[in-house]
Every structure is written in structure tokens, then in C-alpha cells.
Structure 1
Amino acid sequence: MDTSVADPLVGQVLDGRYRIESRIARGGMATVYVARDIRLDRTIAIKVMHAGLASDEDFVARFIGEAKAAAALSHPNVVAVYDQRSDGEHVFLVMEYVPGRTLRDALTELGRLGPRSALEIMQPVLAALGAAHRAGLVHRDVKPENVLICEDGTIKVADFGLARAESASKMTKTGMIIGTVGYLAPEQVLQGTADVRSDVYAAGIMLFELLTGHLPHQADTPLAVAYKHVNEVVPPPSSVVPGIPQRVDELVTDATSHDPARRPEDANQYLAEVAEVFGGLPRDFDRRMEEASRNATSMLESPPAGPPQGHTAVLDASTLPPETLPSGYAPRSRTDRALGALTGKYVLIAIGAIAAVVLGWAVWYQTSGQYDHIPSQIIGMKVADAQRELDHAGLDVRVATAVYDDHVHKGMVAKSDPPAGARIAKGETVTLTPSKGITPREVPDVSGKSLDDAKRTLQSKGFTVGKTSTTPSQTVPKDKVVGTDPDAGEKLSPDKPVDVILSSGMSMPNVVGTDGDAAANQLRSMGLNVTVQKKKVDGKPANTVISQDPAEGTGVSDGDDVTIVVNKRDCIVDAGPIHFGCNDGEPQQNIPVPNVTGRKVSDAKKALEDSGFNVNVTGFGGNTVRFQSPNSGEAPRGSTVTLVKGP
């Protein structure tokens, strides 16, 4: 903890809630404190931006945006961001407090790590980065200082996305390269741009550092280091620490390729490769490698000064004065001395043999065949690319029938036989199995939903939305989902998009020439407000529709006004049992009953009354018609239609 200088913020309460208790560290961008959340009574960490950055409006805007994105990450290996606040001149983050130490502290203490230990640490780091990459967030400052080791051994990554706010602000103003230069990808140096593959590059550099104890590119100035990132390749770690397996070398050299397209596509793919290599190393690999290294070193050391090479000096204690011998020492006989010399000779031979075996094992593991194993990176590669790489290695390739795989994209290699990383003699056959994509699952029913709601439902099931089209519908309101392609209930791999079909609204039917009462009731059933006008036209059947507005095929929506013109009846007198009025009188006979189920009670009542019915409303709560009687057919004009409402 940094307590060398009194800090004016210690003891203050920010935003009326966060009491600063002590300072943890100070960096180029911010100072980190341990604080107490008074409201929730918990220990948290506070990162307060330096005054120069806090006064930069562009920086603050970017900082807030990045902080919101980081706060959206929820992963056990990510330091949680709880809040972003400001208090006067102080702009700060409220974060999870992680007691423990940084990976930098551990590396300084240990010097370097064995291959298995290094890969064990890399996996939670890459899992955290992978979660960010899935969310579209780039870390931009992957380094041991931002990897925290909790007291229980849990690994957490901090400062997600925050480097972007600082770098964007400073690069805009000064053209400087911002970031920890030892981990910068070439594209960050040349173009100032970064994506998920830039994080992969930095992770590869960090793996090199864990394995060797130092960075691959070192120079007197940051600019010279940046030059090396652009113009020099990262060497394999085994060139620094002999005995590191070739597969571990490849994890570093592949991730630090100058061409981003040749790196793992994101941290999730890199994690899969690291986990596969880790699983292929024996549990005691680090110990065995260290022992082999020590034995090899002892064998290469120069022998101490002594007798001529090939002779063994035997000290005869009987020739020494008694006062020079240890207390209780009894000189051995000449025979004992000869046996002792002989025994010592065989012990040396045995030790040398054991050292040679251990050293030979290490060399064999590192170099056997020079390509006698299947590259781990073929999983997730395009099949054609994997074929070329294996052909180049002198292996025969066969492609099997594709299978579904929930972790590998369609058209990529899902698995190989023998598995990736396995040793194999040149000329033998490797069978590649392509992925058909993610296992198919049922398309959910999103009919009747808005487009946004439909997207959320589909995405929650793992699908993406493809094309959006429209079609007229007499039953689905405008801008609501009519259906999907494929239909709801059908199975589809989430690798394929689901097309959504929206309603463009109802289409005005052609009612010209039909019975006026039936036409009016049909249109009212569609939720339209119908105005009926009467007009006498000779030569046209009485009570039939002679015109309509809007015309057939016009898009209409619930509540739109429509007008139909109905031909008046002639005056009929003494027409038998059915009496008609004169001109526009209505016959006292059965008429069609509009179906208003599902409509608002007030709209349904108006539609029925306009059609010539009395209406009785019953039910408990709600404002929607759930049932009507009668709900179809015909009924006498003036009779009662009962509506049952509900929620």
C-alpha cells in the first residue's frame, strides 16, 4: 500500500456516500483507494481520475461511456464496476475491492513460471477477455499489472475499456501512442487502432513474459520498443528457456503474429487453444522440466581444480597428524579406502546417467519429429486452411461428415482425429470434422410482438434477426409480427438468421356489390369506423354497396374511418308478413352479427350499436372483450348481443 505521501482525499466522503480510507496505488491515469460504501456498508475500491483528465470534457464523455460498457460485464474473472460518479472536480469509478496482489507482484517474486503454471493463469485471464469480446468490448491494456490474484487464488482482470477513453483523448490532442508500450500490437503503433485481436496480441506477449521472466522486445526508449513491435517478430520462449514445448511456443508466436488475421480471432478462441495445450501437459511437467534444467546445468559446469582428468584423488587420513582429524575419527584401512574410491566412482557414473536421461527426455519432448504433433490452432480454422497446413506438415488429410458444434462456427474445423496437439508420424492420416454450426433449436413464437420485442425474444434463444419484410394482414395490427421464416416451432441452427415478417396493416376489402348490412358489419369486425351513406341509383339492386372509400387494397389500421354508399330501397307497401318502410326504411329481419372478440369494450359496443344491436356488457375487470354471444351468424335487428369482458 502506498503510504509514503499524505493524500488529501483520505478521510473525505465522495458523493455523500463513499468514505475514502486509504490509498492503494497511483498510476498515470488515476489513483486507487480503499473506501467504504456507507449506504451498503461494504468495502469497495474507488478509482479517482487525475485532475488533468477530469477537466478534459472529451475524456470524461468517453470515460463515462466505457465505464457503462464495463459495468455491463458480469463474469467471475472480471473486476466488477458498480458505479460511475462525479463529485466536484473528482470523476471516479466505484469498483469491487479485490484483496490480494497483482500478477506483476507475483512475477517479480518468482522470476518466471513453468509452462503449466503460466497456462493455468492465462485461462481465467482469457475467459475474462472473452466475455468482454462477446460483448463487443476491447480491453486495450492487457498486462500483469491489470491481473489481480485474490487471496483465495481467484484471478480477476481489471480496467476493462478504460484505456480507450484515455488513449482516444490524448491521441486526438497530441498524436502520441498511449498504452503500455511493451504490449502494444503493431496495428496500435502504426494506425492507433485496436480490436479484439490486439488484446490477443497483448495476451501472447504476457504469456511470453510469464514463461521467460521478461518482455520479448526491450530497448532504451519506448519509441524503440514500439519500433521492434512493428519490425521484429516475437521469438519462441524456448529460445530463452530451453525445454519449453513447441506447442507452448506456438501459443506465443501465433498470438503475436504481425498480421491480425493470423492470430486467434478473439480471446475465446485463444482460450480454447491454451486449454488444449494445458490439458496435454503432465501435471508434474514444470517440476520435471526444472529438474532436467538443473541437472543439465550441473553437468555443463567446469570441474574444480584437482588431479589430472581421469584420476580420482583419495585422501589418506593415516598420513595426517592426529590433531588435525575430527574428534572420534578412526582412520580406515587401505582396503576400506580402495572400496570407498570405487564406490564413489560408480555413484558419479550413476548420477551422470540419470542426468543424461532427464536431459534427453526434455530434448525429446521439445524436438521429437519437429512436427510430429497436430497443430492446436486447427480447431476453429477454415477447413481449407487446416488442410493446407497439415499438407505442408507432410500429413494426409481426410474430411469427415460435418457435425453440429455449439462452440465452433459453421464451416470451421470442429475436431480432428487424432485430436489437436496429439503426436503423429509424418505421412499418417488426420481426419478433420467440419462444424455444421450450433445445434438446431426451436424457433420461438413471436407473432403479435413488436419488432424490438421479437428481436429480444429471438436473441434470448441464441438466434439473430435476418431480413425484415412486410405483408398485409386482416388480423394482425400494423407493425406487429405476422410470423417468421422458418415458422415458429421449426428447428434451426442459431448460426442461421431468422427472418421476421411484419404486418403492413389490413387491406381494405372490396365490398362493392355486396349487401350493405353485411359489408358494414364486416368492416366493423376489422375495427374500422364505418359511415353508411344512402343514395338512390336506378338499375342497381336495392341495399347493395355502390361505392367505397378507401378503395380495395388500400392499407388500413384499427380505428380508421371508411365510408360505403348503399343504394336506397324503393317504397314498398303491403309486402306480406315483412313490413318495409319507404325509401331508406330497414327491413325487420335478421342481419349479420359482427365479431368483436379481442377489441376494447367501448369500440366493440359502438360497432354493435352502429350495426343495429343492443349491447349488454358483463364480466369482472379488464377492458377487453373475451367472449360474445352470439359471436357469428345473424340475429334480428334490435336484439341484444352480450359481451363478456376480462383482463
Structure 2
Amino acid sequence: MDTSVADPLVGQVLDGRYRVQSRVAQGGMATVYVGHDTKLDRTVALKVMHANLVGDEEFVRRFIAEAKHAAALSHPSVVAVYDQGTSKGHVFLAMEYVPGRTLRALLTERGRLGPREALEIMQPVLAALGAAHRAGVIHRDVKPENVLLNADGRIKVADFGLARAESASKQTKTGMLIGTVGYLAPEQVISGDADTRTDVYAAGIMLFELLTGRQPHQGGTPLSVAYKHVNEAVPLPSSVVPGLPPQIDALVASATNRDPARRPSDAVHFHSAAGEVYRTLPRDIDETLAGVSPVTAPMPDPSAVSSSPEGSTQALPAPAGAGTQMLGAGTQMLGPHTMAIPRDEHTQPDPGPPPPAGLRGRLLRPPGLYGVIAAVVVVVVLLGGVVWSVTLGNTERVPKLVGLSEEQARVEAAKLGLKVKRGDSRYDQKIPKDRVVDVQPKVGTEVKKGTLLTLVFSKGKKPVDIPDVHNMPLDQAKQRLQSVGLQPGDQVQQDSTTIPRGYVIKTRPAAGTSQNPDDPVTLVVSSGIKMPNLVNMRRDQANAALSKLGLNVQWQEQDPAPNQPENIVVGQNPPPGQQVNRGDSVQVTVTKGQCQWWNPFCKDNDGGQGTVPPVTGQTIAVARQLLRQNGFQVKVSKGNGRDIVTGQNPPAGTPQPHGATITIWH
């Protein structure tokens, strides 16, 4: 559009806050401007309703209500609605400003996209629609024009629910259906109904267009396109772009099923299905298909559509990529991509031009003898065809569906005029989970078209109990898992004062629980004890810390530096942070000090008192070392034969003279 023409709204301030800076787009419902929010000092997009709609009180009421619903949405892929107001006779929305271009502009430039790139665009679109559906908001006008590609690579969906205000207003007064004809779901054409599944249908059409560069239903008039939505299935994308994988066909077929009950119930489920398909695509598939030329479908000749006798309609080609192509009689354009279709003409096919005058005369001429003979022959042929179709021509053989997903199986069965339903599931060692493992009737059985096939799905491999590999070396633990058919997965390191370094502490899931053999088992492996930093500790503090970790201490002394305190740790080996095992020896260097009670070889031992340390739960060797380091003698009494101290006397914390005997038993 020519933005050079002076716009009286540019330069004005709406609601005392929003300064209109420039006009950027104009549609059937509103004009969009770039504006500046003077209150919050930010750039906004201002959507100002056309004057003819502002005078419609019912429209304004519905528009405000829908704007409130849209403003309640909070999702990174939804264009945010900041404010709504009426100022100087203008009804407007203040919205998030998204610099960049529309998905329609990208399609116009590129023609079509590879399947991975197409699904990468669809994922945030479906996430935005899913958030709206969970909040009870229906978009009603999903199309590439309403998908914005931000300059920084983000993708956002605009105009949530706003089509409802316009369509409700028009339907009330004229009985017309408002929508973008290329994306209308069959139920919208027939009754005007819209729910989450109509958004799914439109999104499926948009995915088809991204993959093929064209809309699935083509026609000389919007009415003929609408008729095809009701009466014809959307073709498989691979019929236009050879080489597209079957899971892409299944995804589009599921979303664009003419029966709403057989589509994903909302965009949340469509988003999940699209993500699963994306994960199955080869990484180089876009490059592989880049050179494939789309199959060219015959298009209607625009010259075959002429003005009506009354001159009420002028047939004009629509812009490239537009949602409508031509306008037939009784059709109103409400914007660049939105049309109104008379409700009683929705399901009527385009009759096409009348036969030539000469042919009309021959058709109306009474039949003679040859005509009667010809008619009899036609009847016989037709009856023969009916008999053939009822007998041989109306049967198919059950196809091989094993290994396919449910949607893929539906597509393959539908090609033969067969239906499917989900039956029981069972474990299978070969067929992956949620794939068809069997079909009833059996593959190859001859059945009538329309027969309902029952699909049996795999539950995956039968679960296996996870064995206990606690305190096993890592390699031995892996072999144990593999011996029962499980896959060792990631190894997670964890400090342990009881399990030696390199030994398994536990598994995730825990031992004794059941696990699908295809799912890996995580092993939590001991990294040993992380050596603490002892430097600058007092000797008794370092001794207590190392004893608690079960480490054997080898003390070394060196003369203190000037003004350096006595009995302070000045060195250690291993250094801080190094992993060690319980029972390892540690060398600790301290500054020399006076003779202390804990040194039994000190000639100046003062024979004072100490406190009995806790040794219950320690090994006999560690307990003996702890007690001796604290100045006590040790007596060991046999118990159950294990190497773990189960009791001590006197109890821990009891004051005892240095040199006293502490009895431990095991």
C-alpha cells in the first residue's frame, strides 16, 4: 500500500499516551501503526479499527471482550496485548511491536521449506496455540499472515480471538461466514462453528503450505475452495513434493481430517505429535529434498470466470499467496485475505460454464431409435459397473501395517478405503513401543471397503527387574546389567565416605524396580572422598576432621616461622580437592609445639584427661587408631565376627584419663 499518502492519524496521541508514528499495514478490520508509549517509553504496535466498524456497538462490545481474553495470554510465542481503549472516536489496541516480517513474506521469497525447517517454525506456533487453548481462547484465523518472524529469530502468533468479534457481528446481521477460505475447516463452512480443532485444521493446512509452497485446495472461486474443504480430503504432501517421508504425510492427514473428532483435540496434542515426527527426521533431509521439483497440479483458467449477467462480480486473480483467489457472485471481500460466503452456498460445487448452444440443442432433441439403443447400452454398462463394484471392485486386501505408528496406519488404510481402531496392546521384543504389532483381520485377508481393522500395538519389550549392583566395581556392574538384558546408561559421580572410588553406590531407577530393556539404567558411581583443606587448622581440628573421614594420619613437624603459632597445619598430601578412599594414608605437616597428651612417646606427657571419641560403626582398625590418637589404650572383644564396631565402653563423650583402656566389641 502507498504509505506516502498523508494519514490524518499519524502524529496524534491516543488516550493521552500513545503517539502514532507511522502506518505499516492495513487489513479488512483495522489499520496497524507503529506507535510510542510515552508513559512507559517503549515502541508499540497500534491496531486501530476502521470507522465503519466503530459504529457497530455489537462489534465493539465483542472486540473489547475478545481483546481482554487475548491480553490474558502469557506466552513467549504470543504477540502480547498491552492495552485497549477508545480515543477521539477510534477503538484501538496497543500491542507488542515485533520487528521483522510475516511467514507469508518468507513463503513468497522461498516458495516452500524443507520438512525440518517447516516443523521448526510450526513448533512455537503450536505452542502458542496450545497455551491459548488451555486458557479457553480460540484463534479462529490461523494463517501465515498472522505468524510473525522476529528479526532476532523468534516466532510469534498475532490476532488471537480477534476474528470472532468481526465474524459474530457480520453473522448476526447477514448470516455470512467470515474466514480465510484456504484455511477454513469443514465445520466452519457448514455451520460456522469453531473450537480448538478448527485451529488445528488451519494449522495443518499451513503446515501443508510450508511443505509444498501451495494450499491444498485450489479453485476458481472461494466457493469452490470452500466446497473442497467439505467434500475432499487434503492431499498428502508427498503427492506434491515426492520424497517427503510417510510420518509427515500422517501428521498433516491427522490435523486436516474432515471429521473434527479424528483430529488432535487441540494444539497441545498437535504440538506433541509434531515434536515426535521432528525427532524421527534425518538431519540432512532438507538438503536432500531441496532439489526436488513439486508436482504441478492443474489450476483453473482465470479467463473461464466472467462477470455475472447483472455485472455484480468482476473476476480478478488474487495476489500471490493470498487466502482467496477469485470472487464469485454473492461473495464479499472483508479484507486482503478474508471473505464472507453466503451460508446457503457453502456446500454447492461450482457449476462451471454452460455447454455450448449446439450441444444444448442436441441434448434437448428427443431421442430416436439409435438414442434408445445407446441408452440401453449405457444402462447395461452402468449396471455391470455396479455389480463389479459391489463384488470384486468393492474389496481390498488388508495391508501390511506392522511397525507403523497409529497415524501412519490410518493413512495407509484410508488409501484403500479401510478404517482402523485401536485394540489391545502387548509386549514385543522387536516392535518399538506404540507401533503396530498385529492387525485383525490378518494381513492379506480380502475385506470389503469400509471394513474396520483392529490394530494391536506394542508396549515395547517386557520390563526387567534391575539387579542390585551396590558396592560393585563399575565394569562388573555394567556386565551384571547387560547379563539380564538391560543397558548401562550415564555414570553420575558422587562423593562417598563408605564406598570406594570407582565402585557403584546405587542405580537409577533403584534396584528391584522394573525397567524397559530399551531404557538405559543410570549408575551412580563413588568418586571417593574429596580431600578437605587442612592448612591453617589447629592440629586437633585437623585430626578430628580426618578421623571422621576414616583416613590414616601420618604427622610430620617442622619448626614454625617467626610469629607463627604452634601446632598449626602448614602442609598436606594429598592436596585439597583430590579424591581419596577411606583408609588411605594422609601426610599432614604441623608446626612444632609443646609436648601434648596425644603423643604417647612424648617424655613430658602430663598424663591429663581426654574425652572418649565415638567409634561405633567404624572398622576395628579405624576405631583402634582413633582411640590411640586420643591417648587411650584399646581392648577388642569378639562379637558377631564382623569387622565393624557395634559397641564401646566407656561410651563416647565420657571423660577418661589419658592411657585408660577403652573396650570395643564387634
- In the superposition, the TM-score normalised over structure 1's length comes to 0.49
Q: Which has the higher contact order (CA 8 A, sep 6+)?
A: 2
